[in-house]
Each structure stands twice: as structure tokens, then as C-alpha cells.
Chains A and B, each alone.
Chain A
Amino acid sequence: GEDVEQSLFLSVREGDSSVINCTYTDSSSTYLYWYKQEPGAGLQLLTYIFSNMDMKQDQRLTVLLNKKDKHLSLRIADTQTGDSAIYFCAENGPDSSYKLIFGSGTRLLVRP
């Protein structure tokens, strides 16, 4: 079945780059997403990448996709304390359905 895995925790110093990794299993996924969740809030869509791309850049965010290894990463340049949150990777469900399959989230802590 489909599964999305992420590391649980990442700690970086303010101003450094953060790299959050994700692996997924469904090779038919059309889009892969990164969401951000701050305490007590819903999920905020950060960015997404189409499966036929290998990189997408959006201001401080860079998404890299290795479709062969089913590996997705999110790089945040010049990480700020406001970036501290939980980051979720998500893929489409089987048969590219509208169902999103989420990982368990990576908690990013940015130290001053």
C-alpha cells in the first residue's frame, strides 16, 4: 500500500539551510506536496511539484524530486525562527486520486 515516511525532528541554527527529507511509495503519484503546520493551526500549503519535474524553486524554498528513488526533499534557505513548525510531505493516493497520503511530519526547530 501507499506510505510516506519522514524523519521526526530537525534542529538548525538561524540563518543556516534546512533540508527536510521524505520518501514515498506510490510511483503513480502525479503531484507531491509540502505543507507547514504551526502550533494550533491547520496545514498551510507551501509548495508542490509535478512528478515529471526534478526541481522547483520558490523564493527560499527548493524542492528536489528523485523519482527513481521515490525521494523528495524540501530545502529552506536562510532559515528563520518563524520557520519553526511541523512540515508534512504528501503524495496523491493510488491511481492519482484526490486522496492525499501524508507522512507523520518533521518537526523543525530553529535555534537563535
Chain B
Amino acid sequence: EAGVVQSPRYKIIEKKQPVAFWCNPISGHNTLYWYRQNLGQGPELLIRYENEEAVDDSQLPKDRFSAERLKGVDSTLKIQPAELGDSAVYLCASSQRTSGGRTDTQYFGPGTRLTVL
């Protein structure tokens, strides 16, 4: 079974440019997450989707970040315009929410390493 797929793996852009990241979750997983991992730190949640609905976007900087998950499968995370401080690894994860469960096991993709110059 294929894992979580992300592209591109690496992206270098100049500040003020736009950038987009793509994620394809594990087949059948209805919950999708975007995390940001700064250097030397653990991942921090940006947004969580259940199917096509963003159910937790409280940590997403909405002035420059946007995300979508059309049809409840693939997702795109966009930054416009990018700032120097956005340099990080952007990780996508997915999980299958269980009925009545209070948590789920999240499986991560390899991430996109963004460098903003």
C-alpha cells in the first residue's frame, strides 16, 4: 500500500513569491493534516481536514496561508506571499478516523523542504 505522497520534495523561492505544496493521502483515509516543522523542532499542526471540511485551522496564518481539499482526497497548501520565516519542512499526514474513537494514528509523508531566500 502506498504511503502519503507529497510533492515537490524541495522548493527554493525568493521572498514575496507564491508557493504551493501538494499531498495525496493514504487511500481510504478521511482525515488529512498539514504540519510545519521548523529546524530542530517537532511538527506543529497547521490545519486538519475531515473529508473536505477544515475542522481545525486555528494555527494556520490566514493572512498568507491557504489550503484546500477538494473532493476530500488530495490537498494543496499555499503560501502567498512567502516570507523568510516560512522556511521549514511542510509535512502532510493522514489517518482513518474510527467511529467513537478519541484519537487516531497519523501517518506522515516525506515532507516538502521550503527555503525562502
Contact = CB atoms under 8 A, between A and B. Distances in A.
B82 interface: no
How extensive is the interface on chain A, given as a class?
20 to 34
Interface in B81-111: 91, 93, 95, 97, 102-111
A98 B31 contact: yes
A12 B59 CA distance: 37
B28 interface: no
Interface in A20-46: 30-31, 33, 35, 40-45
Contacts of B44: 102
A84 to B, nearest CB: 17
Contact of A43 (B31, B40, B41, B108): B108
B107 A30 contact: no
Given A100-B45, A105-B41, A30 B108 contact: no
Most buried by A among B31, B45, B97, B103: B103
A104 B103 contact: no
A44 B108 contact: yes
Interface of B: 4, 6, 31, 40-45, 48, 56, 91, 93, 95, 97, 102-111, 113
B91 A43 contact: yes
A65 to B, nearest CB: 15
B103 A31 contact: yes
Interface string A83-112: 000001010100011111011110000000
Nearest to A8: B40
Given A43-B91, A100-B106, A102-B41, 18 more contacts: A4-B42, A31-B103, A41-B111, A42-B4, A42-B6, A42-B110, A42-B111, A43-B43, A43-B108, A44-B108, A45-B105, A88-B43, A98-B95, A100-B43, A103-B42, A104-B42, A105-B40, A105-B41
B49 to A, nearest CB: 11
9 contacts: A40-B113, A41-B110, A41-B111, A42-B6, A42-B109, A42-B110, A88-B43, A96-B103, A98-B95
